[in-house]
Amino acid sequence: MSIVTGTCNCNLIKFQIDLDKIKTIVNCHCNLCRGMNGSAFSTYAVVMENDFTMLSGNDNLKLYQATANAQKCFCISCGTPIYNINPTKYNGLKILYIGTLPDLRSLMPKANIYYESKLEWVDKLNTIESFAQVRVN
Ligand SMILES: [Zn+2]
Ligand SMILES: [Zn+2]
């Protein structure tokens, strides 16, 4: 058992999961996630609904109908995405945004999904320069 508390950035939303019960961790490269999240790809930890316990902030959780089947839940105060659900395709699963969890170093993704939509430069990230802060030139 390795119970951790996940939070949104403003800490109004808090939930608990057992890291040992994470079904899988994936990088999703699909166009829907890219557009919906404004990022090159999205990393998710997948848990069973029953293994997810809301601790606080239920009233702050807003559900957005992203497609006919998929819903994205986020904090209405700070905008942090918390999880996606898709009762039609992935019934009983909560697809957690991994950045809501503490200590991400141990949570290595197991697979890339929707790989055909992946941006080619994602594979080259370790070849570019790295700085401590933003540089624009
Ligand atoms: Zn928040
Ligand atoms: Zn996706």
Map out the domains of the chain with their CATH numbers.
Answer: 3-127 (2.170.150.70)
Beta carbons within 8 Å of 108's beta carbon, 6+ residues apart:
25
Q: Given pLDDT bands bounded at 50, 70 and 90, which one contains residue 10?
A: very high
Q: Which of 48, 49, 83 is nearest to 66 (CA)?
A: 83
CA-to-CA distance for 131 and 39, rounded, in angstroms?
Answer: 19
In the block, tokens 């009983």 appear at 92
Dump pLDDT digits (tens) for 45-71. Answer: 999 999 999 999 999 999 999 999 999
DSSP 33: H
Ligand 2 geometric centre to CA of 4 (Å) = 25
Edge-to-edge strand list for the sheet holding 14-18: 3-7, 14-18, 52-56
More confident: 33 or 136: 33
Ligand 2 geometric centre to CA of 66 (Å) = 11
Ligand 1 geometric centre to CA of 61 (Å) = 9
In the block, tokens 């699909």 appear at 30
